[in-house]
Amino acid sequence: MSTTADNDNNLDGPMVFIIIGKAYQHDGDKEGVDIHVMLRAPDDDTAVREALNALAEEGFLEADLDQIGTLTDVPDEEPHASAYQGALEGEVAIIKFG
């Protein structure tokens, strides 16, 4: 997987995205589960596509993705620190809350 940015930003390391939202496992599920998805991708479109694919593989039928951004520092606290390391290794890490 390429991690070269498709814009003029010069990065010192890989682009690790964090996507924040809510995912739903059942039709008509109004509560959903708060999620953070962390992954490495060359751009935000690819990050969203890969996050949605990973959520589908985990059995989520629908997701509302509210925010996307890149991490500029390594997270200090769990579970984000482990998820960041997994993203660096090419995994799509899904953190579920609640």
Which structural domain range is residue 66 located in?
16-97
Length of the chain equals 98
In a domain, 60, yes or no: yes
> Residue for token digits 């579970």?
79
Number of domains observed in the structure of the chain: 1
Tokens at 92, concatenated: 């799509």
Return the pLDDT at 21: 98
The structure's pTM equals 0.84
Beta strands at 33-40 and 62-70: parallel, antiparallel or unpaired: unpaired
What pLDDT was estimated at residue 13? 62
How far apart CA 96 and CA 34 sit, in angstroms, is: 6
Q: How does residue 8 score in pLDDT terms, banded at 50, 70 and 90?
A: very low
Residue 1 has pLDDT above 50, yes or no: no
Q: What are 53-87's pLDDT values in tens digits? A: 999 999 999 999 999 999 999 999 999 999 999 99
